[in-house]
Amino acid sequence: MALFNHTPVLLKEVVGRLTPKPGGRYFDGTVGGAGHAEAILEAIGPTGRLLGCDQDGAAVEAANERLARFEGQFEIRQLNFVEVGDWLDQGSFDGALLDLGVSSHQFDVAERGFSLRWDGPLDMRMDQRIERTAGDLVNELPESELGRIFWDYGGEPGARAVAKAIGRERGVGRIDSTLQLAGLVERILPRRGRIHPATRVFQALRVAVNDELRRLEEGLGLMWSLLRSKGRLAVITFHSAEARLVKQFGRRLSRGYRVDGDADLPAFRQPAPVELRWMEKKAIQPTRDEILRNSRARSAQLRVMEKL
């Protein structure tokens, strides 16, 4: 297979907080190129065990190759992290990691359709079982729905203008390639600095195609259920919509009450045990050095929670 290129972000920070211990049991829900998984396996030694998954078959293959020297100590399956409930025992892990989003490898392979730099089909599916590609959404969704996606999932201020321009263009013919869409957005949104003006639109489409936010919401609860007491969950997010879900999840379990009914009003609150402790109040961000070495790290934020 093609060389799998991905530099793990915040590696020292993740290992320093998950503190993988000899003989421990860890789960990596987004194995990717297995950079984090490898560091965890090194720390847990021959009696430890790492289980993991990735929804992308190419990542699973690359991870198995990279981790070959730890044979017998790990197992990686091609699954979405929301699908691991039947496989894994609840309350049995010392730590779990979600390093969200896309790997550099996925960006680098033009045919996967994630990249603004190389021409490819507008695909963006991390898992080939997903039915609708980014091209299907761009060509078939109503303009209003596209505008909502660009705003909600990309925070794109020009969301409506881009959606309108797509509407005009597809009246002439299908929008099928990454560079065709990138060029169209560039004609609508002015270029500022080095970041391509279509970056947010591409991110938003990717989030929609892979249903990333709903999966994350579900996945956080599932990862939490895998942990034993004192187990830690580390989550690396790359944009504000993801970060918001992680903060809300942590807040719900650390505030000492649950809400009975729809509204979070004092009258609806019932006392509930505090289940979670944040390792740090603020998200951990990469150092200047790391960003200079790996520009993909620039938007990364790490949050770590401990189960009480």
Ligand X SMILES: C[S@@+](CC[C@H](N)C(=O)[O-])C[C@H]1O[C@@H](n2cnc3c(N)ncnc32)[C@H](O)[C@@H]1O
Taking CA atoms, 122 is separated from 125, 187, 234, 244, 246, in Å, by 9, 18, 32, 28, 29
Strand, coil or helix: 282: coil
List the beta bridge partners of residue 93: 227
Q: Hunting for tokens 């045990």 — which residue is that?
A: 273
Characterize the bridge pairing of strands 93-99 and 227-237: parallel
Site string for ligand X, 125-154 (x = CB under 6 A): -x----------------------------
Residue placing its CB nearer to ligand X in the complex, 37 or 198: 37
**One of 35, 48, 154, 197 touching ligand X (CB under 6 A):** 35
Nearer to ligand X, 50 or 185 (CB): 50
Instruction: Report which residue type is found at 155.
Output: G
For residue 217, the minimal CB distance to ligand X (Å) is: 11
User: Which one of 25-33, 259-267, 276-284, 298-306 is the stretch in contact with ligand X (CB under 6 A)?
Assistant: 25-33
Binding mask 214-233 for ligand X (x = CB under 6 A): -x------------------
Q: Which residue in this structure is represented by tokens 């909600």?
A: 152
203 binds ligand X (CB under 6 A): no
Let me know if 110 is exposed, middle or buried by CB neighbors in 10 A (0-12, 13-18, 19+): middle
Residue 156 DSSP one-character state: -
Binding of ligand X by 34 (CB under 6 A):
yes
Instruction: Based on the shown chain and the rule CB under 6 A, indicate whether residue 237 belongs to the binding site for ligand X.
Output: no
Selected binder of ligand X within 20, 24, 32, 250 (CB under 6 A): 32
Q: Which two tokens stand for residue 243?
A: 């970060």
Six-digit token string for 271? 């006392």
Question: Which span sits near ligand X by CB under 6 A: 32-40, 153-161, 177-185, 244-252?
Answer: 32-40
Q: CB 225: neighbour CB atoms within 10 A?
A: 14
CA angle, 65 as apex, 59 and 67 as ends, to 5°?
100
Binding to ligand X by CB under 6 A, coded x per residue (else -) over 81-100, reads x-----------------x-
Q: Which residues pair with 53 in a beta bridge?
A: 77
Indicate whether 250 belongs to the interface with ligand X (CB under 6 A).
Answer: no
Q: Where are the alpha helices (DSSP H) in 173-198?
A: 178-188
Among 13, 56, 156, 242, indicate the residue that binds ligand X (CB under 6 A).
Answer: 56
Q: Which residues bind ligand X (CB under 6 A)?
A: 6, 8, 29-30, 32-36, 53-56, 59, 80-81, 99, 101-103, 126, 215
